[in-house]
Chain A
Amino acid sequence: MISLSSAILKKLLAKLEQTTEESCGFILGKPVLEEDRIGLFFPVENNSDGDKSKRYKISSKDYLFTEKSAIEMGLSILGVYHTHINHPAIPSELDRKFAFPGFHYLIISLVDFSFSELKCWKINNQRKFVEESIQFN
């Protein structure tokens, strides 16, 4: 399970809603008991060489930089967020192919430049996505 404060989500959404390209970044936070608590969103550049309105990619350089920053802040990388533009918050086959076991994948769907839905997913051992509940606080 993952928990998140609505205040930091609102801040993130305000930035995401303005773009026509998929946005992406890391979710940093701390595991507290059974729950992974999101502390902050760490936006990085969409480095895809394809059509960025339906593709995203995070460079290894950005990963390594984020990892270093997280350690300095005393946080861990809990997963990744990205947006789906005019498309539901359901993982695509490409999302599945690259899903890293143990990471939370937060997908934010934007329809006509405004927030539509938010879903969180985790890949299981059969490499199928399972939806997770999100606790707001």
Chain B
Amino acid sequence: MPNVIIPTPLRKFTENSTQVEIQGSTISEILDNLSFNYPGLKNYLNTAEGKIPAFINIFVGEEDIRNMDAGETVVEKGSIISIVPAIAGGSVDEVTFSKKELARYNRHIIIPEFGLEAQQKLKKSRVLVIGSGGLGSPLLLYLAAAGVGHIGIVDFDTVDDSNLHRQVLFGVAEVGKPKVEAAKERLEGINPYIEIEIYNTQFTSKNALELVKEYDVIADGTDNFPTRYLVNDACVLAGKTNVYASIFQFEGQVTVFNYVNKVGALGPNYRDLYESPPPAGLVPNCAEGGVLGVLPGIIGSLQALEVIKVVTGVGDPLSGKLYTFDALSFQSRTFTIKRRDTNPLNGTHPTQFELIDYEQFCGMRAVDRKVKEMEVEEFFERKDKGEEFQLIDVREPYEYQEKNMGGELIPLGTIMENAHKISSDKKVVIYCRSGKRSADAIQQLEDKYGFENLYNLKGGILEYVVFEDSKLKVL
């Protein structure tokens, strides 16, 4: 049998043997048998793809198998095979392109101001996109297509049909799937020459710095104030540039925060623009206030442009400038933003040196918590079987008069002062027109009084009407 000489760092896996006899007629067979006999060696002899790792050299006698037939090299019975750690490295990674990549990026490379150099910078860059929704969709599509070499995506949400009017990264087939997974598949389909790392999790004060520090540039595509402040503060504390965009109904904004320009001067950040958040409830998010589907397409594309400019150093990024676009009047304006002495992170007397609880800071949640739900059909089935429920209607009296399903009327605005009327032992089903206000009522009641027995009637009165109609048809 061939003899394999084990290097000292691996002898702990071979019971300190310096040399072991292993059966096999090719190098691949021998390595497989070696891993089988000594499982601790597996990570050293095989990559996840089943290849011989770059960090070992294998010799048959004096000859490197890379100069022979690599894994297929045939060995004889008495051959001596040596495994030797391959030791190499260096400081600066040289970015090279395959022929296919050069052909792919040709229209970039032939722009004189851009050229191969900027394309190399793109390939080498690491960009973290937070949120893969309305803004994240065009942003990710263009960054991947442009050849950003390493893209990270953070999102905890799943694709919903109501996302598809603006989140062009997804299609009907992806409804119900985690957004990051759907995004990765789609982007790999566009550009197989880049790496995409996904984080199917909420971006929070706990994981923010850890995630941000792995990347060169951060692109904020989130839709709520707590996360926006969090992204900003994490970028300032970690010294990363934050390419920011936001949209609401018909208006969008883009800017570049915490950017160090060519002469080393640091630009402003979100805290210079808005030191503290607006009062809770004053500014709704897209889910509450709505958004014109094409607007995130425009603004997210501008955001992608700024990411590419920051990464390549081509052009002047929107640092110290806030660009706003009004889709209705087609007016765009650019305002100047300056660093402020009062900035709590990096003003003249900073007071904040770490991340804080941003939901508390903004007086609102970053993510709507899901409440327990019950389908109309299930409600009636259980009721028919004799289960007891308290049914509460949180709409306004005029709506109640129009149509109701026999619930006790407590309009949303008065729910907290009437909390004592709500049972805390039996199941309580709360409804409104569509299920939105009742969900809000349940969240408030759970937060303040700790109720655990509240169910939101899914689809509200609208669904109840459909249910009644279907029963009539059956009759």
Contacts and interface: CB of A to CB of B under 8 A. Distances in A.
Contact of A101 (B7, B44, B88, B92): B44
A124 to B, nearest CB: 11
A99 B59 contact: no
Given A60-B59, A92-B91, A98 B9 contact: no
Interface in A76-114: 76-77, 80, 82, 84-85, 87, 91-95, 97-103, 105
Contacts of A60: 57, 59, 64, 82, 84, 86
B185 interface: no
Interface string B82-105: 101111111111000000000000
A101 B42 CA distance: 12
Given A100-B55, A100-B85, A101-B43, A56 B90 contact: yes
A58 B57 CA distance: 11
Nearest to A97: B54
**Contact-size category for A:** 35 or more
Given A60-B59, A100-B9, A103-B9, A80 B90 contact: no
Nearest to A89: B91
Contacts of B8: 67, 70-71, 76-77
B85 A92 contact: no
A122 interface: no
Contacts of B87: 24, 57-58, 63, 80, 98, 100
Contacts of A95: 89-90
A123 to B, nearest CB: 9
B9 A102 contact: yes
Contacts of B56: 100
Nearest to B18: A71
Contacts of A58: 87-88
A64 interface: yes
B242 to A, nearest CB: 22
Contacts of B88: 48, 55-58, 94, 98
A88 to B, nearest CB: 8
B85 A87 contact: no
Interface in B134-151: none
A125 interface: yes
A30 interface: no
A93 B88 CA distance: 11
A99 B55 contact: yes
Contacts of A82: 89
A98 B43 contact: no
A119 interface: no
A42 to B, nearest CB: 12
A13 B64 CA distance: 34
A17 interface: no
A59 B44 CA distance: 19
Nearest to B95: A93
Nearest to A67: B8
A92 B86 contact: no
Nearest to A84: B91
Interface string B38-81: 00000110000000001111010000100000000000000000
A60 B84 CA distance: 7
28 contacts: A22-B91, A54-B90, A54-B91, A56-B88, A56-B90, A57-B87, A57-B88, A58-B87, A58-B88, A60-B59, A60-B82, A60-B84, A60-B86, A63-B84, A63-B85, A64-B84, A70-B8, A76-B8, A77-B9, A92-B92, A94-B89, A94-B90, A94-B93, A97-B55, A100-B56, A100-B85, A101-B43, A101-B55
Given A76-B8, A80-B87, A95-B89, 18 more contacts: A48-B90, A54-B90, A54-B92, A56-B89, A57-B88, A67-B8, A77-B9, A82-B89, A92-B92, A92-B93, A94-B88, A94-B89, A94-B93, A97-B55, A98-B89, A100-B44, A100-B55, A125-B43
Would you list the 5 A-B pairs with minimal beta carbon distance, nearest first? A95-B89, A84-B91, A87-B91, A55-B90, A58-B87
Interface of A: 22, 24, 48, 50, 54-58, 60, 63-64, 67, 70-71, 76-77, 80, 82, 84-85, 87, 91-95, 97-103, 105, 125
